[in-house]
Chain A
Amino acid sequence: MSWTYIQGILMLAGINMIAVLGLSLLTGFTGLFSFGHAGFMAIGAYVGAWISASPASTPAGLGLPFILAIVGGGAAAGIVSYFIGRISLNLKGDYFCIATLGFGEAIRLIFNNVNRFGGARGWPGVPGRSTFLVILIADVIAILFLANLVKSRHGRNMIAVREEELAAQIAGINVFRYKMISLIISAVYAGVAGVFFAHYMTFIQPKMFSLTKSTELTIIVIFGGLGSISGSVLGALVLTALPELLRAFEIWRLVFYGAAVILIMVSRPKGLMGGMELTPSGIRKVLAERNALREAKTKLLADAQSGEED
């Protein structure tokens, strides 16, 4: 296997991973379901491209360093998400989800009509600054930040909101505030992922950030397992690579992809890693549970046998 090819897929998986981690906070830890995160990616991608593209190219950019593009893209997505959250966070279940779908599509439609950014014809000539190393570092930072957040008091409050919104409210947790924090962080993650995506592809077009992209991200989160950071990491790696692995099936590959999604939902309804973490303590916990289960089984069997003997 060629390294350029594998590296390319790993980079894409790494970029998806950032967006998925953010979405994992929103969906997996706070219990809100979004269909519009591709919109935040689009904002990040376009703002990032604008900051770093050369002033001499068309569409023209500011020609500033990549780090500013990352910060700017993430911040822009975060700011937009604040206003979206103000409007939509009080909606419940599918209604929130349709509102995010509306916002996501709206953002894409706006970019289609903004000729300054190339409209539907896209923005070629974004500098190719997303290197393997930079993405790797960003992933590590993203994971560490999220892991610490989830373990903190704020993280526990978010989980409380997910589990029992009403009870959390009664217990004195400001539900709206925690939903908002969760939404903004997830949007910043998506925005940063968008910046990396733009600088990986070197070309962006509004149709790259369609509803399909949003659902793809959500599928990865659920596939990996709700409430599990390592699940999101694994999910991003597996599901980004899956269509490539299935290439040998040619036109059948998306059939297999769809089947795989159903299969994992049906056979592992908690996703790959639902509620579990791939940390030393997490693994020990699972092993301990397994052992306990096996012991209980052997004991039951032994009891049954001794019962028969009687």
Chain B
Amino acid sequence: MKKLLFAALAIALVLAGCSSGGKSDVIKVGWLGALTGDQAVWGENELNTVKMLFEEYNAAGGIDVGGKKYKLEVIGYDNKGDPQEAVNVTKRLTGQDKVVAIIGPNSSGNAIPMAPILEKAKVPDIATVATNPKVTVQDGKVKPYNFRVCFIDPYQGAVAAGFAYDRLGARTAALLYDVGDDYSQGLREFFKLNFEKKGGKIVADESFNSGDVDFRPQLSKIKAANPDVIFMPYFFKEVALSANQARDLGIKQVLMGGDGWPSDQLISMGGKAVEGSYFVNHLDYADPAVQDFKTRYKAKYGKETELNGFLAHDAVLLLVEGLKKAGKVNGEALAKAFEGIDVQGITGRIHISPETHNPEGKDAAIIKIVDGQYVFQEKYAAQ
């Protein structure tokens, strides 16, 4: 038994050793995210997207950097959605695999502790859907090697609150959020701030804990508060469950959410309960610009892409354009090249601000669920 264990470890070491060392005309790009744990759905989707796009670039002969053709190679590692593993993986990618840039992760809590390592190794990172402002800016200073292709929580919260107040005419709102989740707490905070600033009133502010599956106690309380709209800033599994339970309790109000909502599974699990709901999204699914990617992904992997795929797509786009602009395969030059770059992605125009490393002025899309379809309403920019 013991021998077996040691044999397994020995194999692991050998395999680990094999992955390093490559040819000079290959650009190695790291990816990290959750392939196991409760965020694995998104991680798998992102890595698949990056792999697919790299294969496509390579099939077309690679990319041109400083007059030389390079192939792209992705080295992807699982971090279980755990910040501690994100740190390990970043050290491994920068130290051992010598990647020139990293794509991911999808969670802010995992992206924030990477910064000092990236800075030391001079390797830039493009976060996909990490929406906490502190991923790129800490205490008023921009982190030199952290970038992202998505909008940030304060913006998303302002869009949701603005849309609820101005377009839906809601004057009272109830909040239900995941108290153990940074994304959910952030979005709730900025929704509350902006909704109250506009003159609206939060009549119920309820929370649950990550991993909970029953929300009826909180929903019963929300029902009694009788709000105009209920804001649910968390991920689709909990959204579907809580929406179903809300309808069971006879809650008829409009539900609203953020970019944790969109997924095929929301429709299949939420069914009628989420009909007529609105959420803030990074893109319009019916936009002609995204159709091509959607079909390519489905053809290759046999299933629909999640939201993360679109943003991973744009992260790859940003990376490739950045490499071309830099003209050399070097992390430091690449980070410089990202600043001020202007790329037309499928989720919108990505113009990286040198001050914040965020894509400035990226519009949010408001989506309504009609007959089990995600129907685009309007591009909405918060003031």
Contact = CB atoms under 8 A, between A and B. Distances in A.
Interface stretch (B5-13, B159-167, B345-353): B5-13
Contacts of A113: 179
A4 B99 CA distance: 14
Chain B interface residue number, banded:
35 or more
A38 to B, nearest CB: 12
B36 A205 contact: no
Contact of A243 (B13, B16, B85, B181): B85
A54 to B, nearest CB: 8
Contacts, number: 127
B96 A120 contact: no
A241 to B, nearest CB: 10
B30 interface: no
Contacts of B182: 120-122, 205
A292 interface: no
Contacts of B258: none
A207 to B, nearest CB: 6
A12 interface: yes
B373 interface: no
A201 B84 contact: yes
Contacts of A128: 116
Interface stretch (A131-139, A148-156, A262-270): A262-270
A119 B84 CA distance: 18
A109 B5 contact: no
B84 A12 contact: yes
Interface in B105-139: 108-109, 112-113, 115-117, 120-121, 132, 134, 138-139
Contacts of B1: 263, 266-267
A12 B90 CA distance: 14
B189 to A, nearest CB: 8
Contacts of A4: 91, 94-95, 117, 120-121
Contacts of B180: 109, 112, 120, 206-207
Contacts of A109: 179-180, 209
Contacts of B115: 202
A273 B364 CA distance: 58
Contact of A120 (B2, B120, B179): B179
B112 A1 contact: no
Interface in B329-380: none
A101 to B, nearest CB: 15
Given A2-B92, A245-B12, A246-B12, A112 B179 contact: yes
A205 B83 contact: yes
Contact of B134 (A54, A124, A246): A124
Interface string B1-44: 11011001101110111010000000000000001100010000
Nearest to B185: A120
A21 to B, nearest CB: 19
A266 B134 CA distance: 46
B77 interface: yes
Given A121-B182, A125-B138, A8 B113 contact: no
Interface string B245-287: 0000000000000000000000000000000000000000000
B88 interface: yes
Contact of B96 (A1, A119, A267): A1
B113 A201 contact: yes
Interface string A176-208: 000000000000000000000000111101111
B132 A248 contact: no
A9 interface: yes
Interface string A78-90: 0000000000000
A164 interface: no
A122 B11 CA distance: 38
A145 interface: no
Most chain B CB neighbours (cut-off 10 Å) among A112, A203, A206: A203
Interface string B151-171: 000000000000000000000
A207 B112 CA distance: 14
A251 interface: yes
A169 interface: no
A125 B135 CA distance: 11
Contacts of B91: 2, 4-5, 8-9
Contacts of B181: 120, 207
Contacts of A208: 82-84
A285 B115 CA distance: 49
Contact of B112 (A58, A124, A200, A264): A124
B176 interface: no
A2 B12 contact: no
A171 interface: no
B197 to A, nearest CB: 18
A203 B5 CA distance: 35
Contacts of B77: 247
A254 interface: yes
Contacts of B12: 245-249
Interface string B70-84: 000000011010111
A9 B184 CA distance: 31
Nearest to B90: A8
A254 B36 contact: yes
24 contacts: A2-B96, A4-B120, A57-B138, A57-B139, A58-B139, A112-B179, A120-B180, A121-B185, A121-B186, A122-B112, A124-B112, A201-B84, A201-B87, A205-B83, A205-B109, A206-B180, A207-B109, A208-B84, A247-B12, A247-B16, A251-B36, A251-B78, A260-B8, A268-B2
Given A57-B139, A264-B5, A268-B2, 12 more contacts: A1-B96, A2-B96, A5-B96, A120-B184, A124-B138, A200-B87, A201-B84, A205-B109, A248-B19, A250-B35, A250-B78, A263-B2
Closest 6 CB pairs of A and B: A2-B95, A248-B15, A4-B95, A2-B96, A203-B113, A8-B91
Interface of A: 1-5, 8-9, 12, 54, 56-58, 109, 112-113, 119-122, 124-125, 128, 200-203, 205-208, 242-251, 253-254, 256, 260, 263-264, 266-268
